A and B are shown apart, each in its own frame.
Chain A
Amino acid sequence: MEQAAHLVPLNWYLFLSTFLFCIGVMGVLFRRNAIIILMCIELMLNSVNLLLVAFSAYSGNSDGQVFVFFIMVVAAAEVAVGLALLISIYRNIGSTDIDVLNKLKW
């Protein structure tokens, strides 16, 4: 196991995370449904988490792992607040389409 893991270069994690991050970004740009966008943001956060853990593991210092806990905390809080906002909006306009939200402009 350790021998095998040895063979995974850190670069790959970097690549994977970056790719995942960009998929998340694309999702945010791609979709109109607020919930999906939220999920894409979660995806971005997870790519960060993955990279942090990878860095932490490879450098042998656990700060990265601890940080991930905090990111999870924040993500949870964010989601809670976000979904609450979403519900509140849905009650008012009956939609979760972000393109409908354009009262405020110019």
Chain B
Amino acid sequence: MSQLLFFILSTMTILSALVVVFTHKPMYSVLSLIVCFFTIAGHYILLNAQFLAITHVIVYAGAIMVLFLFTVMLLNLNSDSDVPKSGKLRIAATIAAGMLFVTLLASIKATTLGEFTLPPPSDKGMVEHVGQRLFTDYLLPFEISSILFLSAMIGAVLLAKREKN
């Protein structure tokens, strides 16, 4: 059952990811990426990370992808403006990525992870636990990430604001 679910979700994930890469229309890419994110959220639930799954949907599908969508529409991008790379480069890209995949797998194939088993469901994935950790052990990174946000915020405003030349 779980394996079946895994397979279904994985197939969807991979297919939607491939669509993101191969489709000509940016809009399709965005949409299929959203699909992809939803399937990943499914994986999270499978892995007992319920809070994360929610957050994932909210942040990615809800915020990031909307941002993408806005941009695509704001810039009025469509398939006409999207010139594909030449054939040779596409082949080269595929080969390079393929080689990366092969070498990565070849390098870690010896790892025996099959013995790992999923522990019984616990509250680890629950908001209480995660929150607890986030505000104790991970307090410092949490605070520091605010600096990151602040910086990004200022930057985004700085860059995207329309100004007179």
* A→B interface (CB under 8 Å): 1-12, 14-16, 18-27, 29-33, 35-36, 38-40, 42-43, 46, 49-50, 53-54, 56-60, 62-63, 65-66, 68-70, 72-81, 83-88, 90-91, 95-97
Contacts and interface: CB of A to CB of B under 8 A. Distances in A.
Interface in B72-88: 72, 74-75, 77, 81-85
A33 B82 contact: yes
Contacts of B44: 50, 53
Given A23-B17, A50-B40, A95-B81, A84 B56 contact: no
Given A23-B97, A80-B152, A95-B81, 13 more contacts: A12-B6, A14-B108, A22-B104, A23-B17, A31-B84, A33-B81, A33-B82, A36-B20, A46-B36, A46-B40, A65-B49, A83-B67, A97-B83
Interface of B: 1-3, 5-6, 10, 13-14, 17-18, 20-22, 26, 29-30, 33, 36-37, 40, 43-44, 46-49, 52, 55-56, 59-60, 63-64, 67-68, 71-72, 74-75, 77, 81-85, 90, 92-94, 96-98, 100-101, 104-105, 108, 111, 113-114, 116-122, 124-125, 129-130, 133-134, 137-138, 141, 145, 148-149, 151-153, 155-160, 162
Contacts of A24: 17
7 contacts: A9-B116, A25-B97, A50-B43, A63-B133, A66-B134, A74-B145, A81-B155
